[in-house]
Amino acid sequence: MSQKIQNQTIIYLIIILFHSCYYFHNSNQLEKITEVEKIIDLDKKKMQEFRANEIEKMFNIARLNLDLLESKQLDSVAFSLIYYDYRNYIDCVNQMHEAYKEFNQLSEVLTMNNTQIKNIKSDYMNSNVKRNDLDQYLLEEINIVKATSKTIDELVKTIDFTVNDFYKLNEKLENILN
């Protein structure tokens, strides 16, 4: 029984050794890909934490307030008194709309980045030889992922700022309307 366990252990170690040597020639690239995958996972988490429902709720609030403002049928004097606050409110809603569209586009870009990285990783892993021909594609994809990540970070900051701004402006507009 002991001899059988030793033989199995030796075979298992040989398989592990063979497996580790098999991928060694592309190990640097695979390490880079692992780092890029971590960046993509972090970006996915940021995107999931994004409160799309809250943004849609803001759009509904804005729509209701604008409908209420329209129904008031203000004369030009009354409207000129609230014009500054109204203009800032509309600008804020438009900024949020643009950020929301960019968010959806970045979500698609992130999915595409993830697919590209998985394909490159698969090519490296399934190769029996060093794949220098893929190195340029990997570098390009790394740069794209980093640029996307930076854009996501900036967009999240912009959205947070705009959300806070919206609620302040919304309170002002509601006080004026009521």
pLDDT, one tens digit per residue, over 109-144 is: 999 999 999 999 998 888 878 888 889 999 999 999
Residues 173, 89: contact at Cβ < 8 Å? yes
> What does each C-alpha distance from 47 to 43, 106, 133 come to in angstroms?
6, 9, 33
Residue ranges per domain, the chain? 26-177
Per residue in 87-116, pLDDT tens?
888 899 999 999 889 988 998 999 999 999
Q: Return d(Cα 89, Cα 86) in angstroms, integer.
A: 5
155's tokens: 């967009």
